[in-house]
Amino acid sequence: MESSSSVKDTSEVIMPNTDNSMSTDEIDSYNDPLFVSNIPNGAYKWNKQNFCKFCKKGVIKMSRHLKHVHKDEDDVRKMNALPRKSEEKRQIQEQLRREGNYKYNKESLRRNKGFIMPQTRPRNKKHIEAKSYLPCVYCKGFFGKKYLYKHHERCFMNISRRKTKKVALESQLLLENYSFGTSDSFKNNIVLEMTNDEITQTAIGDFLIMKFGESIYSKLKKQHNANYIRQRMRQTARLLIIAKSIDDELEDLEDLLQPKNYDTIIKSVKILGDYNESSGEYGISALPLKIGHNLRKFASVLQTLGIMTSNTNTIQKSRHFLDLMNSEYIVVASQALTSLNHKKFNKPKYLPVTEDVKKLTVYVQRQMSTYSEALKNKGDSDSYIKLAQATLVALLLFNRRRTGEIQRITRRFPQGNKCQNIH
């Protein structure tokens, strides 16, 4: 039975520091590294402090707090109108609780201090790093990375019961405020297909890299360009990771793209390109050239954003950085190009024996005949796929050009280009 108004409301409580539950004022002055709130001494206590979605206060009895303090909010009105023990009322209350914790956790992550309030506190006396927890994209509750995919399938907010292999990557996107790119196509075809490692997390955590990737994707939406776009994003993310290891004051790519950090960029490029100081050559000679193109493009994107936001400081820095790249990076590009040409010149060329080419051609023609007959008799999809593959190889042997040109020919192409008698 709920307490009357004459009884002191104990829903808003400042928790003692020994319980790893603190008021927001205490957290502002807390300077230890970010960690995950756990159950004190491994023994469960009814003192878990959830954070209100509306006023951002830490409270113990969330339902009472919402009913008395935020009764005019639409979600709270809807919740209060439902029967006391109804499932829908419980879900709305739980959703409000998780959204409040999500907002608080994001703020803690942004400041990189305080603690993360997970959905279920671990029974562990040691401090657990916050990066081992990620939010569910549906209910916004924070769960351990190893358990997140299990929760994802059974989450009460996942109405469609959609399954995905990229659960952690989607959660990372949610944390990184993926709001600047309204294109779901870019997210699904490019970002969610990237390998979920430190490089990808750095890429999706940087506004400029994501903006750059989406600008390329808007121009090159063909399927065969997807890997190219992902590579360019990851190349820049790798550069940023190395630059941060050299200069720990760097926060993002925008910080790096300043004239004062040009020396740091050159050092990072040399590490990435496996530069040999004695010979003056790059082990990975094409990479410095690609990074040079990327950096110029990034500086142009940054300059455009500065113009759009009327930020004179950003415009000036990006212009100066472009001038520096055009005048000084030519030294790096020249060394990389020399290394590339040297490798290309000394690379042995292997030519196929005529007999081998003849055997392959005869075999492919035989396969085409076999699967053509099978398609006529059975009409199954397997025969069609095998025939299409054999036909592709036959065209490659005949045409001797880039594989992609023939690979991307559609069925409409031969229909619209009928042979004419030129004699």
Count Cβ atoms within 10 A of the Cβ of residue 240 and give its class: 0-12 exposed, 13-18 middle, 19 or more buried.
Answer: buried
How long is the chain? 423
**pLDDT tens digits for 388-408?**
889 888 888 887 767 677 777
422 domain-assigned: no
How many C-beta atoms lie closer than 10 Å to residue 353's C-beta?
8
Is the per-residue pLDDT at 29 higher than 50? no
Q: What is the mean pLDDT of residues 305-315?
A: 92
**pLDDT tens digits for 143-187?**
998 889 889 888 988 887 777 778 888 888 888 765 555 477 888
Question: Which residue in the block uniquely carries the two structure tokens 């954003």?
Answer: 305
Total domains present in the chain: 2
Is the per-residue pLDDT at 202 higher than 90? yes
Identify the domain containing residue 366 by its residue range.
354-408
Q: Which of 102, 134, 166 is the endpoint of a domain?
A: 134
The pLDDT assigned to 126 comes to 67
Task: Please tell me the distance from the alpha carbon of residue 136 to that of residue 401, in angstroms, as a whole number.
Answer: 48
Task: Please tell me the distance from the alpha carbon of residue 220 to that of residue 229, in angstroms, as a whole number.
Answer: 9
pTM value surpassing 0.95:
no
**pLDDT tens digits for 218-262?**
888 777 789 999 999 999 999 999 999 999 999 999 999 999 999
CB 92, CB 78: distance < 8 Å: yes
* Torsion-angle region of 353 (φ positive above 0: left; ψ -120 to 50: alpha; else: beta): beta
- 48-68 core/surface letters (b: 16 or more CB in 10 A; e: else): bbbbbbbeebbbbbbbbbbbe
Write the DSSP symbol of residue 56: -
Q: Which of 88, 112, 134 is the endpoint of a domain?
A: 134
Q: SS3 for 257?
A: coil
Distances (CA, A) of 62 to 48, 53, 232: 10, 10, 47
How many C-beta atoms lie closer than 10 Å to residue 97's C-beta?
22
Q: Which of 113, 134, 155 is the endpoint of a domain?
A: 134
Angle between helical axes of 207-219 and 286-308 (0-180°, round to 10) = 100
76 domain-assigned: yes
381 domain-assigned: yes
Beta strands in 212-279 (DSSP E): 275-276
Residue 392 structure tokens = 């592709």
Is the per-residue pLDDT at 312 higher than 90? yes
